[in-house]
A = this chain, B = another copy of it.
Amino acid sequence: MTEQNETNHPGQSDACKFTLLATDAATSARRGRLDTRRGVIETPAFMPVGTQGTVKGMLPEQLLEVGAQIVLANTYHLYLRPGHERIRRLGGLHKFMHWDKPILTDSGGFQVFSLGELRKIDEQGVRFQSHLDGSAHVLTPETSIAIQESLGSDIMMVFDECIPYPAQRDYVATSTARSGRWAERSKQARRDPSAALFGIVQGGMDRDLRRQSAEQIMTIGFDGYALGGLSVGEEAALMYAVMEWTLPELPAGQPRYIMGVGTPENLVEAVARGADMFDCVMPTRNARNGVMFTSTGKLSIKQARYLDDERPIDAACHCYTCRHYSRAYLRHLYQSHEILASVLNTTHNLYYYQHLMRQMRDAIAAGTFITFRDEFYRRRSLTGEA
């Protein structure tokens, strides 16, 4: 960390305030606190994904109970249905979904670029067809920010392209440069100074392009910095390398967000490399498919071996599901296609993720992050418990 990074960055607004509370001596892990207009986010933090204005299967009170401090909402989905103008007229996304804690919105870029044949990109932005009804739309840095402001987002993201992997270096360079120009336009498009705006570093899996992108995005200046374009099919080792190349380049005094990552192991490794914020559909989507995270690894509840298993999903877990239900019951619910299967499994998996973050925050503060990480891996190497 250079001294320059410790000072208030010129691009940082008053929309949020990041306080670095502790830095691990042996790794780059950081314990911090991000103050937003709707509350505090203790970091490292994991953000459950609430794509359509709801974290699938969870009431807001249940999100608070598992320890969520902030949720992510998807601009693309809410723009198409029910529409950002409608949500604005109805009082904003917080009121709409009965969640008064912070909301981070993505820019819509990731979803639009995932449409494949249905989208076309140029300097202005992206033309695409709705996955719902085929209708034609255009998303630009300007419209993306306007939509995010209509939703009432507390932390907005710049409009960018999430580059596929693998990709030609030429394309990565072209796209990254364009995302840089879009970041500048996103910042110019911002109207509400009380909502934070994060920049996104792209650059694919190329060290120089990542560094150039970081430089460009920092020069524009944002309230926080994200790494995009990770967890797109690359090996974990390469993902960690990108973090190692890029995270140290970012201002130490501002939050660092790794988008769309990841497994529990990914989170531990990313925190060790200095990341502060994460989002991923993994805990919620896996839960709906009956795959549960435990301190000793994953467990697929549909297996016949759990038919008569009286034990909770994870004996070390204190979530609502583990306090009240057996694997046998959860297997029965899953096999019977019951709604409660999704509710209880999601409760457990989100609790697992939030508890993992809490453990990391405590360990960094106590100066025992290395010990925590060793124990994390040791438990996962135990076999036969689940």
Report the separation of the CA atoms of residues A340 and B63 in the bound assembly, to the nearest whole angstrom: 13
Closest chain B CB from A311 CB (angstroms): 11
Residue of B nearest to A337 (CB): B52
A338 within 8 A of B: yes
Q: Which of B52, B90, B91, B332 contacts A52 (CB 8 A)?
A: B332
B90 near A336 (CB under 8 angstroms)? no
- Footprint of B on A, CB under 8 Å? 52-54, 56-59, 81-82, 86, 89-91, 96-98, 307-308, 310, 324-326, 328-329, 331-333, 335-336, 338-340, 342-343
Partner of A98, one of B82, B97, B324: B324
**B329 and A96 form a contact (CB under 8 A):** yes
Please determine whether A340 and B90 come into contact, CB atoms closer than 8 angstroms: no
Q: Assess the A53–B329 pair: CB atoms within 8 A.
A: yes
Q: How many copies does the complex hold?
A: 2
B336 touches A59 (CB 8 A): no
| Main secondary structure on A side of the interface with B | loop
**B307 with A82: CB separation less than 8 A:** yes
C-alpha gap A329/B78 in the complex (Å): 12
Minimum CB–CB distance from A59 to chain B (whole Å) comes to: 7
Q: A90-B310, A90-B328 are known contacts; what are 5 more A-B pairs with Cβ within 8 Å?
A: A53-B332, A57-B339, A91-B310, A98-B329, A343-B343
A343 and B53 in contact, given A98-B325, A328-B90, A332-B81 (Cβ under 8 angstroms): no
Question: Which residues of chain B are near A57, meaning CB under 8 Å?
Answer: 339-340, 343
Contact B332–A56 (Cβ < 8 Å):
no
> Residues of B contacting A310 with CB < 8 Å?
90-91
Contact of A96 among B53, B58, B89, B326 (CB under 8 A): B326
Shortest Cβ distance from A346 into chain B, in angstroms? 8
19 A-B pairs with CB atoms under 8 Å apart are A52-B338, A53-B329, A53-B332, A53-B333, A54-B340, A56-B338, A56-B339, A56-B340, A57-B339, A59-B343, A82-B328, A82-B332, A82-B335, A86-B307, A90-B308, A90-B310, A96-B329, A96-B332, A339-B343
Interface-centre pick from A97, A324, A333, A340 (highest chain B CB count, 10 A):
A340
